[in-house]
Structure 1
Amino acid sequence: MQGKRIDREELKPGDHIYSWREAHIYAHHGIYVGEGMVINFTTGGQESGPGTFWDRFFRGSSSTRSAANPCPKCGGQSRLRGVISSCLDCFLMGGDLYRFEYGVSAAFFMAARPGTCTLASSDPPEDVLHRARYLLQNGFGVYNVFKNNCEDFAIYCKTCLVVSKNIGVGRSGQASSYLLAATFAAGGIFGYGMYCVSRLASDIGVRRDVVKVPVESLASHQG
């Protein structure tokens, strides 16, 4: 299940949206804020770290436009690193539009593709929009494939949840699933069973190493 595909007319401000990249291998996530604009966390199409395979694999690009041909709606924002405001067309890059689902059941979560839903509940849209706009002005820290990526950004905006321990992975279901799959790949049926249990336990909606941190205090908490 690739997720909940929607039409643009169904979008509401505060929605956590995403679009699949590279033949549906990974997805780029953001928060729709209305008037055709999306706030998202990106590496500007470049590597997010020292040039490792995973950095290139999960690059948080939001557009392929060049400096000589900027988007008439969002300008040169799409080439920047960090938290940016992109128009919906630049965010999608020609891909389909999907909405990330919150408050799903455990059964639904396990049947869905990683990085498309969570058991965690979403906060009201006005809180989500406040966090996204605040982070657009103040940043979301350093991009990290496994601990601080575009999905982590969108989930934080929706839930205000932060992983309290500097171990493992962040809130991203997609990143944690890849790590868990690699860990249990050689275990056959037993390994697959452990993967399923671990995947559910690592979801932001059930894991116990998370705390609510107001967006105004996020920078000091990360530091």
Structure 2
Amino acid sequence: MGVFSNMISREELKPGDHIYSWRTAYIYAHHGIYIGDDMVIHFTRAAGQEIGTGTFLDNLFLSSSPSPTNTICEICGDQSKLHGVIKSCLNCFLAGGNLYIFEYAVSSAFFIAKARGGTCTLAASDPAEDVLHRAKSLLNEGFGGYSLFKNNCEDFAIYCKTGFLIETNYSIGRSGQLASWTAAASTVMSSPLRYLTTSGTGLVVVAGTMYSLSRYIADIGVRRDVVKIPVERLIEEAGAEEEPQQAVGLLTI
């Protein structure tokens, strides 16, 4: 893999790989865990509605459906009404897009050079058998409610790879692509007035530094508010939360 592209061929895939495919003119990527035999486990609100904001963004990212719009797959069947953690064939997961692999344990320099979020992390991946165990366990039990800002498909894949969950309630989750959007917005909002006297080159340097720093401190590999949670505990707490008249506090996912 390189700084410019994480694209790989199907022949290079290994069970336990975190893969993704760009949607809607490279604005949003859909993520999942490859489990072998051309099958992927991934997290979705519903086909075509992965981000689930309840706003115009749902329509904007309609093409992120893990299942072709007008075709019923011979392997997967009709997945248009499914939501939560589902299993799809690789063709349905890619939905006509290219195949990319998410990189783990990258260096700080490499992470900053990959200016687009949602492609790599400084955190190390657990062994493939642990990754597959988490993904397959959650396929039967779910991963909570889908939320673009706190609990999306990238968050799911990162949890499967690392076992990490965010401990603090104010967090926006583990998603690198969300961290990039947030960093870009923060840079734009904090720049205008006090940089009016700065030269054009200086402004670019300052803005670039702010953007990179914001992305870096939000990465799952360096932030301090993460804890490693066994998938069995996650499933147990999720089940307890669903029981009537019980107040069970889940960690933010």
Fold conserved (TM > 0.5)? yes
- Count of matched residue positions in the alignment of Structure 1 and Structure 2: 221
CA drift of 1:128 comes to 0.3
Match of 2:68 among 32, 41, 64: 64
Aligned residue in 1 for 2:105: 103
Q: Is the 8 A contact 2:123 2:220 kept in 1?
A: yes
Q: Distance in 1 between matches of 2:168 and 2:76?
A: 36
Match of 2:149 among 138, 146, 151: 146
Q: Distance in 1 between matches of 2:103 and 2:18?
A: 8
- Decide which structure has the larger Cα Rg and report it: 2
Q: Distance in 2 between matches of 1:45 and 1:76?
A: 13
Q: Is the 8 A contact 2:53 2:148 kept in 1?
A: no
Superposition pairs for residues 177-192 of structure 1, below 5 Å? 177-186=180-189, 187=191, 188-189=203-204, 190-192=206-208
Match of 2:96 among 94, 97, 103: 94
| Distance change >3 Å, CA 50–CA 20, structure 1 → 2 | closer
Aligned residue in 1 for 2:9: 7
| Distance change >3 Å, CA 175–CA 153, structure 1 → 2 | same
| Distance change >3 Å, CA 85–CA 95, structure 1 → 2 | same
For the residue of structure 2 that corresponds to 1:5, the secondary structure is coil
For the residue of structure 2 that corresponds to 1:4, the secondary structure is coil
Aligned residue in 2 for 1:218: 234
Q: Which amino acid aligns with 1:155?
A: I
Query: How far does the alpha carbon of each residue in 1:158-186 deviate from its partner, in whole angstroms, 9 at most, with x for none?
Result: 00000001113111000111012111114
Q: Which amino acid aligns with 2:104?
A: Y
The percentage of aligned residue pairs carrying the same residue is 60
CA drift of 1:26 comes to 1.3
CA drift of 1:138 comes to 0.2
Q: Which amino acid aligns with 1:136?
A: L
Q: Is the 8 A contact 1:77 1:85 kept in 2?
A: no
Aligned residue in 2 for 1:74: 76
Q: Distance in 2 between matches of 1:23 and 1:205?
A: 28
The unaligned stretches of length 5 or more in structure 2 are 192-202, 238-249
Q: Distance in 1 between matches of 2:106 and 2:60?
A: 28
